[in-house]
Chain A
Amino acid sequence: MVRRVTEPEAAQPVVPLRHPGTWVATAIVLMIVALAAYSVATNPAFEWPVVAQYMFDPEILTGLQRTLELTVAAMLMGLLLGTVLALMRLSQNRLLSTVSWAYIWFFRSVPVLVQLIFWYNFGALYASISLGIPFGPTLFTVNTNTLITPLFAALAGLGLSQSAYTAEVIRAGIVSVPAGQTRAALALGMRRLMIYRRIILPQAMRVIIPPVGNEVISMVKNTSLVSVIALAELLYTTQLIYSRTYQTIPLLIVASLWYLIIVSVLSLGQHFLEHRFRHR
């Protein structure tokens, strides 16, 4: 049965549905957070004074610098090699695209940690490396163990696997640009390289930048894997210190705080970059 609604009644604002469950959940979460914060602040085992003491320790700062250098170098390697791999993958030439496919398959499938240890032990596979003319005279020979320093192994492990991921990102970016763009540019008399540079890549950047930003952030954290081959980046530096002082927890907190700071700054940068490449 329909009740007749009088005019003043109809003019009343509606009452939205209340969600009392939300308030209960909020209260519970706040309580848990407060308890955790209290415990972190008061548990003497965290040794906050030690954290403060080491936060800007010159040794730690050197490790931090090494972490940043590794991140930049490995990402640059990844971008350069990744671009080449992406173009090879998209090539008409079946051999080039197959080689690129195989590379990407291999370096994405083997864990970075395994690759790092592998490169570090490369000397076991080839005791010396020679440069010369194929099947002809040798120009010079070096001992593999002097050539492959921890830094070399770190860059190879991080950079080569990164290039496999970056290649896929760049390829996706290029493929995302409609074929009509290339046709229009060709019809204007432009040539392949110019079309890539002026028409395709600027449009592909919009698709490429967000995931590459994420990968820079992942790379900052992945550099900590290098600690297994005794390269003194941020994590290994803290390990070196706490193996002397036994202040394990506070030093791990120092490393964590620095990772938090770097990643936060990078996230902010990524936000601005994405904004810049968004279409008008």
Chain B
Amino acid sequence: MTPPADAMLRIRGLSKSYGARQVLRDIDLDVQAGSVMCIIGPSGSGKSTLLSCINHLEPIDRGRVWVAGELVGYREHRGRLHELPDREVARMRQSVGMVFQQFNLFPHMTALQNIVEAPIRVKRVAASDAKARAIKLLERVGLADKQARYPAQLSGGEQQRVAIARALAMDPKLMLFDEPTSALDPELVGEVLAVMQDLGRSGMTMVVVTHELGFAREVGDQLTFMDGGVIVEQGDPRAVLAAPREKRTQDFLSKVL
């Protein structure tokens, strides 16, 4: 199987189980370069697991994932997939940024140190260059004055914006967002969504698992609704949200809206 050149992310036939429980069932997904894909669905529908399969934080059982035309986590040999060694997987992850629900900033480092850590240690960027870049990124997320703060001294919204800057510092081709605003106080959600909207407008390819339907409608190019480990419905966000075709999508939206 060969991936098409234009899809930044392509997933075919992806399945995954935890023991006897199948969490993902035969998932197909395409995300074009420069577009924003939003994934919605009830909790336990497999959205977050799907995201973790894209950068191989979770191994998969069958199927294939390509990022920028490169098979993720495995090497194909005589029609079978063989898991790649850590070194290869780590190299691939450099080009896929990830933002977590719980921010997961490193608490023993300042905002600036959080951002320069991976560029310096992993990409071997010169410290002065990494720092200059980090300061630009902090300006971009509106936190230029907070570079010396530790995560515990920042609000949730500020921490999440630092986490976005940290992911961007590796110059990823694709950004994954795993419910980035779900752990935030309501008044802090807007500042994070604004940064993400700005990022999407600037041409970053993004996959966003979210409960923010407004964001999906305004910023998303595509919307995927998942339930029970399968993709139920997919399409233009405005169309899906306004007039869902599937019964399960209608039920979910009627509860959420």
Q: A180-B102, A183-B100, A279-B152 are in contact. Are A191 and B108 (CB under 8 A)?
A: no
Contact B104 A181 (CB under 8 A): yes
Contact B108 A187 (CB under 8 A): no
Contact B104 A280 (CB under 8 A): no
CA distance A280 to B107 in the complex (A): 9
Within 8 A of B (CB), among A161-199: 178, 180-181, 183-192, 194, 198-199
Q: 16 A–B contact pairs at CB < 8 A?
A: A183-B57, A184-B100, A184-B105, A185-B118, A186-B93, A187-B57, A188-B122, A188-B166, A188-B170, A189-B91, A189-B122, A189-B123, A189-B170, A190-B122, A198-B117, A279-B152
- Chain A interface residues (CB < 8 Å from chain B): 178, 180-181, 183-192, 194, 198-199, 202-203, 279-280
Chain B contacts of A183 at CB under 8 A? 57, 100, 104
Chain B contacts of A279 at CB under 8 A? 107-108, 150, 152
Nearest residue, chain A, Cβ from B106: A199
Chain A contacts of B152 at CB under 8 A? 279-280
Chain A contacts of B122 at CB under 8 A? 188-190, 194
Contact A203 B104 (CB under 8 A): no
Q: Pick the 3 closest A-B CB pairs, nearest first.
A: A184-B104, A189-B94, A188-B118
Shortest CB–CB separation between residue B208 and chain A, in angstroms?
Answer: 15
Contact A187 B93 (CB under 8 A): yes
Q: A187-B57, A188-B166 are in contact. Are A194 and B104 (CB under 8 A)?
A: no
Contact B150 A189 (CB under 8 A): no
Chain B contacts of A191 at CB under 8 A? 86-87, 90
Chain B contacts of A198 at CB under 8 A? 117, 121
B229 within 8 Å of A (CB atoms): no
A-B contacts, CB under 8 A, total: 68
Nearest residue, chain A, Cβ from B166: A188
Please encode chain B, from 86 to 112, with 1 for each CB lying within 8 Å of some chain A CB and 0 for all others.
Answer: 110011011011101010111110000
Chain A contacts of B96 at CB under 8 A? 187
Chain A contacts of B123 at CB under 8 A? 189
Contact A192 B86 (CB under 8 A): yes
Contact B100 A203 (CB under 8 A): no
Shortest CB–CB separation between residue A55 and chain B, in angstroms?
Answer: 44
Report, as a range, how many residues of chain B touch the other chain: 20 to 34
Contact A180 B100 (CB under 8 A): yes
Shortest CB–CB separation between residue A196 and chain B, in angstroms?
Answer: 13
Chain A contacts of B98 at CB under 8 A? 184, 187
B249 within 8 Å of A (CB atoms): no
Nearest residue, chain A, Cβ from B87: A191
Chain B contacts of A199 at CB under 8 A? 106
Shortest CB–CB separation between residue B245 and chain A, in angstroms?
Answer: 35
CA distance A191 to B117 in the complex (A): 13
Chain B contacts of A187 at CB under 8 A? 55, 57, 93, 96-98, 167
Which of A178, A184, A202: most chain B Cβ within 10 A?
Answer: A184
B153 within 8 Å of A (CB atoms): yes
Shortest CB–CB separation between residue B115 and chain A, in angstroms?
Answer: 10
Shortest CB–CB separation between residue B79 and chain A, in angstroms?
Answer: 28
Contact A280 B117 (CB under 8 A): no
Chain B contacts of A188 at CB under 8 A? 93-94, 117-118, 122, 166-167, 170
Chain A contacts of B86 at CB under 8 A? 191-192
Chain A contacts of B87 at CB under 8 A? 191
Contact B121 A190 (CB under 8 A): yes
Nearest residue, chain B, Cβ from A199: B106
Nearest residue, chain B, Cβ from A191: B90
Shortest CB–CB separation between residue B8 and chain A, in angstroms?
Answer: 17
Chain B contacts of A190 at CB under 8 A? 90, 118, 121-122
Nearest residue, chain B, Cβ from A205: B108
Chain A contacts of B97 at CB under 8 A? 187
Chain B contacts of A186 at CB under 8 A? 57, 90, 93
Which of A181, A189, A194, A202 is the one whose CB lies under 8 Å from B93?
A189
Nearest residue, chain A, Cβ from B105: A184
Q: A187-B57, A189-B170 are in contact. Are A180 and B104 (CB under 8 A)?
A: yes
Q: A184-B106, A186-B57 are in contact. List 14 more A-B contacts (CB 8 A).
A: A178-B104, A180-B102, A184-B100, A184-B104, A185-B106, A187-B96, A188-B166, A189-B91, A189-B122, A189-B170, A190-B90, A191-B90, A199-B106, A279-B108
Chain B contacts of A202 at CB under 8 A? 108
CA distance A203 to B105 in the complex (A): 12
Chain B contacts of A184 at CB under 8 A? 98, 100, 104-106, 163
CA distance A187 to B174 in the complex (A): 12
CA distance A14 to B222 in the complex (A): 68
Shortest CB–CB separation between residue A85 and chain B, in angstroms?
Answer: 23
CA distance A190 to B169 in the complex (A): 14
Chain B contacts of A185 at CB under 8 A? 106, 118
CA distance A202 to B117 in the complex (A): 14
CA distance A191 to B87 in the complex (A): 7
